[in-house]
Amino acid sequence: MRIRIRFAKRGRVRWTSHRDVARMWERALRRARLPLAYTEGFSPRPKLSFGLALPTGCESEAEYLDVALSDTVDPADLTDTFSSLLPDGVDVLAAQALPAGAGSLQEDVTSCRWEIDVPQMGPDALAEVIGRVLHAETLPVTRERKGRPVTDDMRPSVLALSSRPSGTGAELVAELGTRPRGVRPAELAQVMGIELGLARRTNQWIERDGSRGEPLATPAAHAAVMERAS
């Protein structure tokens, strides 16, 4: 049996690395006494598969974890089970059994939606920057890969950008593709030439046969996104 868990990462825990979050979950799953399936070999590990890594320092309402089990459990019981086993700021939002043959998160997710604070700009000024970015034919960004600087064009991965008022500044709403390579908020800020504040990933999307959906949707999270978009 495989179950998919959707969880949030908010507040101070956002400074925890992806690797440390994986360790948190391993401890929580063991303490919950779930019938975990393990890898073979000299050092067996629980069979866990995370979605796209969240950049350190970012918050999220849409993180995902697939867990392989050796026996059947009721996913509806897991939300309450993990509440006391995970650190403050990591909250389970939903859990669901996966059908046989379900694809991996790494392969299926095609884009992510972000809400990013831009405290030093108003929405009109941000809209001008967005216009220049969306009309650009290329958006080169330099990344380090295998210890060497490599320049990529991230324009194909910038799918949509918009601005709206937020407090004393503006908020950037961005949909960023994961292929051919994913785009981090810091890289987006680099090509836009602006300074970003707190970034929150609100959705991960899967597109298949012309339709788009989430790996595991929650009614509350969907309603909150629709309210922010209105």
Domains of the chain, CATH where assigned: 2-106 (3.30.70.580), 110-214 (3.30.70)
Q: Tell me the pLDDT band of 74, cut-offs 50, 70 and 90.
A: confident
Is 129 within 8 Å of 207 (Cβ atoms)?
A: no
> What is the predicted pLDDT for the residue at 84?
83
Which amino acid, residue 91? D
Q: Tell me the pLDDT band of 229, cut-offs 50, 70 and 90.
A: very low
Q: What is the CA 108 to chain-centroid distance, rounded?
A: 13
> Of the given ranges (14-28, 70-84, 117-131), which has the lowest mean pLDDT?
70-84
> What is the predicted pLDDT for the residue at 225?
42
SS (H, E, C) 89-156: CEEEEEEEECCCCCCCHHHHCCEEEEEEEECCCCHHHHHHHHHHHHHCCCCEEEEEECCEEEEEECHH
Q: Please provide the average confidence, as pLDDT, over all residues in the chain.
A: 89
> What is the predicted pLDDT for the residue at 127?
96
List of residues 6+ apart from 222 with CB closer than 8 A: 214
The first and second tokens of residue 179, run together, are 């292929």
